[in-house]
Structure 1
Amino acid sequence: MTFGNIFRVLLIVCGLTFVSACDSAEERAENHYQKGIALLQEGDVDRALLEFRNVFKLDPAHRDARHIYAKTVLERGNYQEAFSQYLRLVEQHPDFFEGRRELAELAVKTQNWEEARRHTRLALEMAPEDPRIQALDTAITFRRAIQDGDQATQAAMLDRALTLKPILPENEIVRSVIIDGFLRNGDEDKALAEIGETIALYPENIQLYRMRLQLLSRQGREEDVEARLREMVRLFPDDEASKALLIRYYLSREDSDAAEAFLREQITPGVQNDDARITLIQFLISARGPQVAQAELDKFIEDGTNTDRFRAMRAGLAFDMGQQAEAIAELEDVVANAEPSVQTREIKVAFARILASSGNEVGARALVEEVLAEDVGMVEALKMRAAWLIEADQADEAINVLRSALDQKPDDPGIMTLMSAAHARNGDRELSGELLSLAVQASNSAPAESLRYAKFLIASDKLLPAEGVLIDALRLAPGSYPVLVELGQLYIRLKDWPRAEQVERALRGLDTDAGTAQADRLRFSILRGQTNNADAIAFLETLTREDDSATAAQVAIVRAHLLNGKPDAARTYLDELLAESPDELAFRFLDAAVYASTGDFKAAEQRYRSLLKDYSTSERLWLELVRTLSRDGRPDAAATELDRALEILPEGRDLLWAKATLLEQGGDTQGAIGIYEKLYAQNTSTSVIANNLASLLSTVRDDADSLERAYAVARRLRGSDFPPYQDTYGWIAYRRGDYREALTHLEPAAAGLPQDPLVQYHLAKTYIALNRPDDAQAQLEKTLQLAGETARPEFDDARQLLLQLKNDG
């Protein structure tokens, strides 16, 4: 045989071997797929999923295996993995309509509206007449109409959903649009009927029960509320929120005995039913006091059903009662001697929270990492890790951590609240607000979650929706002092005096010192708001006659005179107070403040210095002295006193802030950055400090690391309507080369700060980057007109740029 023949034979043999190997891989993949299908039919889901993963090793693009795998993990409640599998599926098979549709539905279910819009649009192009796709499009359009306040489109989408309902009677998305549409129209009876029908279809969806409960409460159907609550406790025995809500219901009717009796019914002596015992302890702490709860814990420990758990709880209670050293020692003993288990990990996380609150963050982090090394999905540990990531401005990483936690506990309001905070750090206020709303829903309108969301709405000037959130919270917790305070302040802002008076009466009905004091403040605000200034002052004077120690009311009278433009009346009244009580701190402080407000800075200075002899560690007094000296045109004296104050109070946040401002004004920007970095490290949630730090980093430093640091700190400012924040974020976006994003922030910033030449310069630079020379020239001329003779590198640059534009023109 010649060499050529030998080569041809070998080539044929190798080719056959290659084809055989390909066929073998495909056959093995198909074999694993068929095994997976068979195992699913037998109910062996874990082994079925393993077979499908074997398919992917041999054939990553196996469409049917990927599809059934995604559907299966979705049915098990693992939304994050299901989403990633569906996403891989449509990336590999972009024309696979069914996968695209299911991915869009999952995106709606998980509130991932950006992905929902994208995949719904693509699916609509494939099958515009498909009812499920029409349902998705209806939900997305309905949501956008709500955000835009477009009531006509909302009504149209409700009609469309009602048309789709007979075609898709079991479609949750259609049902949710109908329920929401009825609620927004005020058709509560129709909404209740729709919720009832949907519960019959999805009896395991606890959110529907919660929604029905809220409506029954809103309608005042007390007997139905109690019956439905008991039904929820029976149907969802592991849902502690339902039990807590039933307790809140009993307490709202001032029937604490019924609440305690219900909780004790849940406990079987000698049996380890920890959840029931823990709920009882939590109730006793709030309703009977910590000592009673502590005695009950001692009984549980003696009972011996779960000694470690209740020793840990007793230690936590002792910590809250001020016995910190004893509490930490007991927890250390419990953790050191407990066997590794889920419970031990839960105790470690609780211990980590105590360590963090006591200032030992290193110890807390070590415990959390130890827990996560044993169980990567431990929800409470993930929440702590996420909180630390948010504080470190690593919001994207925090969101990924929280998605893992949410997969395991999709109804946890704490996870939703943390995710809201993470999205807020990223500047995504819309998504942040949605998550706060979901937290309210998941918590059954609990006071804390409701307050948080109401404050978000008020900050967005959505006062009436905020009112609805607060009222819903009060229906099942009518004695919530913080909610009543917020609602009263809201009515003052709305100038709704009759409802403000209702809140005043509710506060007085609490029969507590705090409630009465807040009711008095509310009454004063009502009278002032109605421009009954004389009546408002008369009311305060009545309070001082009824209570000899009513210092707050007396101070308020002085302030009221000042607000009414009557400084002489304020001085006369204050002199009378000082004659009677010359050593009263509040009156002495007010004495100095009144002199400063009327321009007598020397008299104010004298009184602040006198106060500081007695109260040298008062940060507020030092600050007022520094401000008084500044207002008196004595900046050097102000700086000297500020340095003296910082020698006494080196960690005073407001003093440090004032020092940073002085350094910046004096040209020591690096020193100012150092102070802002220190303040920011102490509390990363303060937006003003974040803005000042990011602004300096992006304007006085040119290195890439400082720019990225500025961006990480300033992302929360994205989308803000506050001009200084818009300027900071816009300039950072410009420096990072994102000129379109910069423009959307710098144009409103320049309009909002029309006299600030640096802001105008930032906008001019953006116009140049976007090749808008005419706009840039006008903006540079405005910059230089405002800057005048101010010596700054930016304005020198502006002069050169303007000259260049004129020459080019």
Structure 2
Amino acid sequence: MKSRFPAIAMVLVSAVAAVALTGCGGAQERKARYVEKGESFFTEQNYEKAGVEFRNALQIDPKDADVRYHVGRVAEKLNNPRDAVGQYQAAIELDPKHMRARAALGRLFLMGGLADKALEIAEPGLVDDPQNAALLTVRGAARSQMGNTEAAFEDAELAVQRAPDDEYAVALLASLYRQSARSDRAIEVVRAGIERAPESVDLRVVLAELELNQDHPAKAETELREVIRLQPKELNHRYRLGRFYLLTKNPAGAEETLREAIKVVPENIDAKVALADLIVGQRGLDAGIAELAAIAKAEPDNAKLQMALGMFLESRGRADESAAVYQAIIKTEKTQPEGLVARTRLAGLLLKKNDVAGANKLVDEVLKENARDNDALVLRGNMALTRGDAAAAITDLRAVLRDQPNSVSVARALARAHLQNDEIALAEETLRSAAQANPTDRQVRLELAQLLAQTGKAEQARPILEQLSTEGAGEVGVLEALFRVQASMKDISAARTTAQSIQRLRPELPLGAYLEGAVNESEKKFDAAIALYEAALKVQPDAGEPLAGIVRIEVQRKRLPQALARLDQAIAANPDNVVARNLKGEVLTAQGQIAAATATFQAAIDRAPQWWMLYRGLALAHLAGKNTDAAISALELGMQKTNGAASLGTELAALYERLGRPDDAIRTYDKMLAQDPASVAVANNLAMLLVSYRSDQPSLDRAQQLTGKLSHVTAPAVLNTRGWVKFKRGEYQESLNLLQQAVAQSPESPVMRYHLGMAQLRTGNRDAARENLEVALNSGGKFVGSEEARLALEELKRAG
């Protein structure tokens, strides 16, 4: 027995080792099979199935850089750039010499206009492999974006020599030749590439574009049709051919192409909508709607198609018709997925009509069925933003972003919510993350630049906008944002150049002339400014900004009769120009012509009874005439006609407070809160009124209840109100921290300094209390409680 034990042990050990080796080999074999199947599906363009196989392989070996690269390729094909970037970066971290991952990641950065990041990725790879064609192409494209054309040519030519069938290298070299006005050579390069890669769809698309630019439409059409032959079910190719026919003034060919697309892929709804869009452009809106309605009528049980019809009608301004379609879908689909989508779409329509209650009811129905319905959460978040409840919006939008981390629209909404909640750093971080994850999305980069500009970081915003302006072909939004950044940086010469660029690129818009006029106005070149403002008005006679610019200059010159004459001219040209009437009312008020001013505002109200600014102007005119009762009536009527415009309610409450009628101000906010119970601003202002003018316990309790719902809000005005409510309730120590936070954010506010000083006085910090009370009173501003502040300061001084 003793002699047999080691032998038995060795047998057992060998058996265990064999099992372990078999298991390891089995796992590697399974991984290899998954990868092989994934590559097969990828070749067949079945990217969803390819992704499943590659991820199965990744579960077996998460440290396989090559599998990470394959998962990234699938993500890229499925239009998920954020995941693609992450997978490529992971592949490079696992294997810094994985050149395919480096090239793929570099190309994504280039598509997003991030040439510097593309270089950071490509150049370390080129140190190890100096003649890698894919990395040379990335570096060449980056150099081209950065204006180094000569070096870009060197990289592109070497890349094509090393890999003459590389689509990216060939396309880059052709692009460089085209930019150098050598389109014939560009065509030669692409044709040579196609000879080596005859099934290259991308190169044929490039060639078609080159031929069209050279005025060779027949050759371009041949290439586009060959692309369709190679990938007959890829609808983007058919759409491209349709656009070609439109460019060559052959709308019948475009329509035939889209009808053929519907036959080839009958289940695809996008093709049917594209056909309707085309018909709208050629034969008018009614014809396009009739076409899509007929298609939908032929498939009454296709809820997705019915939804497409509703959304088409909605996008074309036919709100009532689209609402009827959504209601029909809700009736048939009930709580099935399309029924829930229809509820969310209908809620959005109701919200545009200010039917907040109806919209909330529909959203609640959706979320009752599916608490994680992203569309409903986004809508509820946007509703919260509209009413000023940024914290509630942040909660909903964060939940959606967890499910849809690549959603730029959600990221943008979340950034707006952070901004509304005074969380500027978080807003910037959200947009930066979205821009890095979606480098090809120009809109998110634009919004990031706009945020940077708004928060005093113009020097960071400017290069982003300059890059966007070089990428786009006359995008007005980008150029306007660039103008405003240049103007804020006092670079008047650059701002003028940008304004002139807008005029050249989009002469049918008044914006360019208006912006150049604003440059002249800033330099006090008033005659030149007025000439440009008039040029803008020739393009769009009812444009408000240039007309306001003319009036502003005339008022500044103290030429009120000329300002009124110009406004009368605009009104005579279009009696319904309420912007001109509003401006005229303001000028007449400034002149002291109260009767004429009120008559002007009233005439404008008759034409636009839902525009809240007219009621405000009318009220200010009455106040200038010392008729406070008429001013109050104007504001109250405005609230009634505009469905409770918050701006008018705030104006009315402030007027009541100035008149020494705090109970009426409280009553006004009570009405506003009943209409919009979730409004942060209304709850905050009402709470402050309650503790400023009442001392009874029910009022103090109600103020506490109101501010208790605002604990998530970090805006200084809300922190101040919460702290003052606690102070008035005798909770002095608790109030101190809140008031210190408020003053830290708004040190210039006398009322906040007064509140903090009183809290410090009650908690025994007399020196700090004296300092804050002195700052509050020395500000020169009058505020509620200034007399109490004066008495408290005098007492402190007497006490030494």
| Deviation of the 1:451 alpha carbon | 4.6
Pairing of 1:28-67 with structure 2 (within 5 A): none
RMSD: 6.1
CA distance in 1, matches of 2:61, 2:666: 49
Query: Could you tell me which residue of structure 1 aligns to residue 707 of structure 2?
Result: 710
Structure 2 counterpart SS, 1:567: coil
Query: Could you tell me which residue of structure 1 aligns to residue 271 of structure 2?
Result: 277
Structure 2 counterpart SS, 1:269: helix
| Deviation of the 1:764 alpha carbon | 0.7
Say if 1:604 and 1:628, in contact at 8 Å, map to a contact too.
yes
- 1:49-83 alpha-carbon deviations (Å, 9 max, x no partner): xxxxxxxxxxxxxxxxxxxxxx98998xxxxxxxx
Say if 2:435 and 2:441, in contact at 8 Å, map to a contact too.
yes
Query: Could you tell me which residue of structure 1 aligns to residue 410 of structure 2?
Result: 415
CA distance in 2, matches of 1:581, 1:42: 80
| Structure 1 unaligned regions, length at least 5 | 1-36, 45-70, 76-108, 111-138, 140-163, 201-208, 235-241
Q: Are 1:739 and 2:736 counterparts?
A: yes
Which residue identity does 1:521 align to in structure 2? Y
Which residue identity does 2:743 align to in structure 1? L
Say if 1:447 and 1:483, in contact at 8 Å, map to a contact too.
no
Say if 1:484 and 1:507, in contact at 8 Å, map to a contact too.
yes
| Deviation of the 1:430 alpha carbon | 1.2
Structure 2 counterpart SS, 1:331: helix
Which residue identity does 2:668 align to in structure 1? I
TM-score (ref. length: structure 1) = 0.59
Distance 1:799 1:362, change over 3 A: closer
Pairing of 1:358-757 with structure 2 (within 5 A): 358-388=353-383, 398-424=393-419, 426-441=421-436, 444=439, 446=441, 448-474=443-469, 477-509=472-504, 511=506, 513=508, 515=509, 517-540=510-533, 556-563=549-556, 566-568=557-559, 570-572=560-562, 574-575=564-565, 593-597=586-590, 600-601=591-592, 603-609=593-599, 612=602, 615-616=605-606, 617=609, 620-631=613-624, 635=628, 638-639=631-632, 651=644, 653-676=646-669, 678-679=671-672, 692-693=685-686, 695-696=688-689, 699-700=692-693, 703-707=700-704, 709-710=706-707, 712-713=709-710, 716=713, 718=715, 727=720, 731=724, 737=734, 739-747=736-744, 749-750=746-747, 752-753=748-749, 756=750
Distance 1:579 1:213, change over 3 A: closer
CA distance in 2, matches of 1:684, 1:512: 47
CA distance in 2, matches of 1:191, 1:282: 46
Distance 1:277 1:686, change over 3 A: farther
CA distance in 1, matches of 2:371, 2:739: 40
Q: Are 1:193 and 2:122 counterparts?
A: yes
Distance 1:632 1:508, change over 3 A: same
Say if 1:731 and 1:746, in contact at 8 Å, map to a contact too.
no
Which residue identity does 2:120 align to in structure 1? A
CA distance in 2, matches of 1:785, 1:318: 60
Which residue identity does 2:558 align to in structure 1? P
Structure 2 counterpart SS, 1:478: coil
Say if 2:97 and 2:125, in contact at 8 Å, map to a contact too.
no
Which residue identity does 2:263 align to in structure 1? P
| Structure 2 unaligned regions, length at least 5 | 1-22, 31-57, 63-81, 84-88, 130-136, 153-167, 176-200, 207-226, 228-234
- 1:462-489 alpha-carbon deviations (Å, 9 max, x no partner): 1233334444555555343333333333
Which residue identity does 1:571 align to in structure 2? P
Which residue identity does 1:466 align to in structure 2? A
Aligned length: 622
Distance 1:307 1:291, change over 3 A: farther
| Deviation of the 1:457 alpha carbon | 1.9
Structure 2 counterpart SS, 1:436: helix
Which residue identity does 1:657 align to in structure 2? T
Pairing of 1:94-105 with structure 2 (within 5 A): none
Which residue identity does 1:661 align to in structure 2? A
Which residue identity does 1:335 align to in structure 2? I
| Deviation of the 1:657 alpha carbon | 2.9
Query: Could you tell me which residue of structure 2 aligns to residue 328 of structure 1?
Result: 323
Q: Are 1:294 and 2:285 counterparts?
A: no
Which residue identity does 1:277 align to in structure 2? A
Pairing of 1:13-32 with structure 2 (within 5 A): none
CA distance in 2, matches of 1:359, 1:380: 19
| Deviation of the 1:726 alpha carbon | 7.5
CA distance in 2, matches of 1:462, 1:627: 36
Structure 2 counterpart SS, 1:411: coil
| Deviation of the 1:605 alpha carbon | 3.6
Query: Could you tell me which residue of structure 1 aligns to residue 75 of structure 2?
Result: none
Structure 1, 412-421 or 499-508: larger mean CA deviation: 499-508
Which residue identity does 2:410 align to in structure 1? I
| Deviation of the 1:455 alpha carbon | 3.2
Which residue identity does 2:473 align to in structure 1? P
Which residue identity does 1:411 align to in structure 2? N
Query: Could you tell me which residue of structure 2 aligns to residue 337 of structure 1?
Result: 332
Say if 1:260 and 1:283, in contact at 8 Å, map to a contact too.
no
Which residue identity does 1:665 align to in structure 2? R
CA distance in 2, matches of 1:576, 1:176: 58
Distance 1:559 1:378, change over 3 A: closer
- 1:648-691 alpha-carbon deviations (Å, 9 max, x no partner): 77845544332211112233334324434555676799987676
CA distance in 1, matches of 2:298, 2:542: 50
TM-score (ref. length: structure 2) = 0.60
Structure 2 counterpart SS, 1:191: helix
- 1:11-32 alpha-carbon deviations (Å, 9 max, x no partner): xxxxxxxxxxxxxxxxxxxxxx
CA distance in 1, matches of 2:393, 2:140: 33
CA distance in 2, matches of 1:714, 1:190: 47
Distance 1:614 1:672, change over 3 A: closer
| Deviation of the 1:518 alpha carbon | 1.1
Query: Could you tell me which residue of structure 1 aligns to residue 15 of structure 2?
Result: none
Structure 1 counterpart SS, 2:734: coil
| Deviation of the 1:703 alpha carbon | 3.3
Work out which of the residue numbers 729, 754, 767 in structure 2 matches 1:761: 754
| Deviation of the 1:426 alpha carbon | 4.4
CA distance in 1, matches of 2:594, 2:138: 58
Which residue identity does 1:330 align to in structure 2? V
Structure 1 counterpart SS, 2:524: coil
Identity of aligned residues (%): 18
Structure 1 counterpart SS, 2:746: helix
CA distance in 2, matches of 1:345, 1:335: 7
| Deviation of the 1:42 alpha carbon | 12
CA distance in 1, matches of 2:258, 2:552: 52
Structure 2 counterpart SS, 1:663: helix
